[in-house]
Chain A
Amino acid sequence: MTVTAGVTAAPRRRTRRGAAFRDAGPPVALVVIFGIFAALSPQFRSVDNVQNIVDAAAVLAVVTCGITFVLMMGSIDLSAAGVMGAAALTVSLLVANNRNDNDFGLLGILVAVLLGCAFGCLSGLALVLLKVPSFMATLGVSAVGLGVATLLFAGVQPNISDTMLKGWAIERFLGFSYLTWIAAACVLVGWLVQRYTRLGRYAFAIGGAEEVLTLSGVRVKPYKIAVFALAGAFYGLGGVMVTSQLGAGLVQAGDGYDFSAITAAVVGGTLLTGGRGGVLHSAVGVLLVMVLTNGLVQVGVSPYWQGGVEGLIVVAAVAAAVIPQRRRNQVVK
C-alpha cells in the first residue's frame, strides 16, 4: 500500500512543481531581462523610459487580454488586425472628426467596441456552425475587417478632433497615461471574468478537455461563440486606443498586433493547446515583450528586428512548452 501511495504521490508532486516553475518562469525572466538591460544602458533604467514601456504596453495588453481567452480554449485568433482596423475607422468617423459632423463621444467608442464584438461573434459562428478551424475562420474575418475598414476609409484619412479621446493618450494620472489605466482596468476585468464567471471557467475547461465537458452535458457551443465575441470586444477597444494614440483612423491600426499578442500570451505561459495560463500570465508576457523590444532598441539594435525577435521568442516558447509532452504527442499538424 505504501508503495502504491508513493508511486501516485510522486508524479503529482512533480506536476505541481512543474506548474509552479511554469508560473514563476515568466516573472523571473521579466526581472532578469529588465536587470540585464538596466545594467547595459543608462537610458533604459531612467524613470521616463519605464513610463514609456508601460504606456507603450497599453494597447498590446488589451489585445492580449482578448486573445488569452481564445488561446485558453485551445483555439487561435488571427483576426485582431482586421477587427482593430475596422474599429479604428468606425470610432474615428463617429466622434468629432474632419470627415463628417458626427460627435457621439463615448457612444461612438461603445459602437466601435460592439462592432469588434460582432466580428468576434462571426468568427465564433464560423467555428461552431460551419466547423471551420479557428485559424482559418479568423484569417477570413480579419480580411473582412480590413475590407470594411478600407471601405470606411474611402481614400480620405479621418483625423479626430474629439478632445476626450485625444486626451486619453496625452493626459496623465499618477505618472501614467489614461490609456495605461484603461489597460489595467481591462486586465482586471479580464481576470475577474476568467476567475469568477462561468464563461471564464468553461473557457479553461474547453481547452483542457472539451470532450469530457461535452459528455458531462455542458452545451459548449454558445460559450465558444461568447469567448470569441469577448475577444472581439477587446480588439475593438484596442482599435479605439490606437486611434486615440494616432489622432486618426487608419486601416493599418492593428498591423502586427495579432502576432505580438500571441507572442505575449505564449511567453506569459498560456499554452497553445489550451487549458493553461490566464490573463495575469499574459499581462506579464506583455511586459516581457515590451521590455525586450524597448531594451533591444536602447542597446542599439535596429527597430526593424522587432518582428524577428518576436518570431524567435514565440517559436522558442512554444517549443519549450511542448518538450515535456514530446513523447506523447506524435501527431502535430
Chain B
Amino acid sequence: MSIPVALQPATVSAKARPARRLTGFMPIIALAVLVAALTVADPGFLTQRSLTAASRTAAPLIVLAAGATLVVLCGGIDLSIAALASLSTVLLALWLPDLGGLATPVVVLVATVIGAVQGTAHVLLRIPSFIVTLGGLSILSAVALVVSGAGTVRVVDDSAVKWLDLYVGGYVPMSFAVAVVVVALIALVLRVTPLHSWISATGYSESAARLAGTPVDLVKVGAFCVSGACAGLAAVMLVSRQFSGGPTMADNLLLPAVAAIVVGGTAITGGHGSVWRSLAGALVVTLLRVGLPIVGVPSAYEQILYGVIIVVAVALTLDRSRVSIIK
C-alpha cells in the first residue's frame, strides 16, 4: 500500500522536473546566448573596456531588482521602486552640500522608512500590494517634483559619492562590486537565518504560513524595507554617475527591474526564486539594452522587447498548480 503512495509524488515531480529545470537555468542560458550573439555581431564586445562599461550600467538595476525580489518572493509586487529611487536622487543631491558623507546613509535610511510605511499600509489596511505601491509611485513622484521644483538638482561637490566611481583592482567598477556585495549579503542573511523559509512559506501559502506561526506581517514589512533601502542605494549609484538628481531620473528603470526579476525565473506568484536569479536577470536586461544598438536595432524596440519579455517570462515561470483563477 505504501508503494503507490510513495511512487505517486515521485512520478509527478519527475514529470514536472524538465520544465522546472529549464526555467531554472533560463537566466544563465539567456546570458550565455546573449554574450555569444553579441560577440559574433561585434568582436570588440568581449573586451575589458566594454564589459566594464556594461557592468557599470547594470549596477543600479541589479540593486533595484534584488530588493524588489524579496517582495515578489512574498507574493506581492513593488511598483514604487523606480519612483522611490528618483526621489532619493533628488534628496541626495539636495542634502550632499549640508551633510556631506552622512548624506548617503541618511538617504538610504529615509528610503527604508518609506518602504516600511508602504509595507505597513499593505499589511495593516489589507490593500493589495500593487495598489499600495502604485499609489506610492504617484505620491513619491509628486513629492520629488515639489521638492526639486520640477528641475534637475546639480551636485557641485561630489566627493562624498565619488568612491562609487572608483575601480576595484583597476577593472571592476566599484558600483558593480557594491551591487554584487549587496546581493550576496541579502542571500547570506536569508540563508543563515530562518528568514528564507519564512519568506518562501509566505509566498507559497500565506494562510498555511500564518497557521504555522510564521510572523507573516513582519516578514512582508521587512521585505518592503529592504526594497526601499535598495532603491535608496540605487539612487546613490545614479547620482555618483550623473552628478545630479532629477525627479524622473530613475523612472525608466521600473520596467527593466520588473523584467530582470521575472527573467531571472522568480515566480510572480511568490515563493520560488532568489536574489541571485535577479542578478542574472538584471545582467540579461542590461546586455539587451547595450546590445540592441550593436546589432543595429533602433532603441525604440527596447520598450517593445521589455513588454514581450515580461509577459513571456511570467508565463514561463508562473506556478499554475496553485492559482485556479487568474485575475
A90 to chain B, nearest CB (A): 15
Across-interface contacts of B325 in A (CB, < 8 A): 210-211
A315 → B minimal CB distance (Å): 4
Chain B residues with a Cβ closer than 8 Å to the other chain, count = 55
Taken together as a complex, chains A and B put the C-alpha atoms of A307 and B142 apart, in Å, by 6
Interface residues of A: mostly helix, strand, loop or mixed?
helix
Determine the distance from Cα of A307 to Cα of B136 in the docked complex, in whole angstroms: 10
Which residue of A has the minimal Cβ distance to B76? A333
Contacts of A136 in B (CB 8 A): 258, 262, 268, 310-311, 314
Q: A131-B318, A144-B303, A319-B127 are in contact. Are A259 and B138 (CB under 8 A)?
A: yes
**Chain A residues in 8 Å Cβ range of B207:** 330-331
Asked if B310 and A143 sit within 8 Å, CB to CB, the answer is yes
Interface contact A315-B127, CB-CB below 8 Å: yes
Stretch of A69-77, A158-166, A169-177 at the chain-chain interface: A69-77
* Alpha-carbon gap, A331 to B210, bound state (A): 10
Q: A130-B315, A309-B142 are in contact. List 20 more A-B contacts (CB 8 A).
A: A132-B326, A136-B310, A139-B258, A140-B310, A143-B306, A143-B310, A147-B300, A147-B301, A211-B325, A272-B131, A311-B135, A314-B131, A315-B135, A318-B127, A319-B121, A329-B126, A331-B206, A332-B122, A332-B129, A333-B270
Q: Which residue of B lies closest to A128 (CB)?
A: B326
| Docked CA distance A312–B142 (Å) | 11
Known: A136-B310, A274-B327, A332-B127. A304 touches B134 (CB 8 A): no
Interface range for A: 35 or more
- Is A322 in contact with B127, judged by CB distance below 8 angstroms? yes
Query: Interface readout for B130-145 with A: 1 if CB under 8 Å, 0 if not?
Result: 1110111111011101
Which residue of A has the minimal Cβ distance to B303? A147
The answer to whether B311 and A304 have CB atoms under 8 Å apart is no
A298 at the interface (CB under 8 A from B): no
- Contact, CB under 8 Å: B311 / A137: yes
Contacts of B302 in A (CB 8 A): 147
Determine whether A142 belongs to the interface, using a CB cutoff of 8 Å to chain B.
yes
A151-B315 contact in complex given A133-B327, A307-B138, A311-B137, C-beta closer than 8 Å: no
A276 to chain B, nearest CB (A): 15
Is B125's CB within 8 Å of the partner chain A? yes
Q: Which residues of A contact B (CB under 8 A)?
A: 73-76, 82, 126-127, 130-137, 139-148, 150-151, 210-211, 259, 262, 272, 274, 302, 304-312, 314-315, 318-319, 322-323, 326, 329-333
**What chain A residues lie within 8 Å of B308 (beta carbons)?**
140, 144
Also in contact, A135 and B135, with CB within 8 A (given A302-B146, A307-B141) = no
**Which residue from B75, B139, B300, B312 sits with its C-beta under 8 Å from A312?**
B139
Closest residue of B by beta carbon distance from A142:
B307
Q: A132-B311, A141-B307 are in contact. Are A333 and B142 (CB under 8 A)?
A: no
Q: List 23 A-B contacts (CB under 8 A).
A: A74-B327, A130-B312, A131-B320, A132-B311, A132-B314, A133-B326, A136-B262, A140-B307, A140-B314, A143-B304, A143-B307, A147-B307, A151-B300, A262-B131, A304-B145, A304-B150, A307-B141, A314-B135, A315-B125, A323-B125, A326-B126, A332-B122, A333-B75
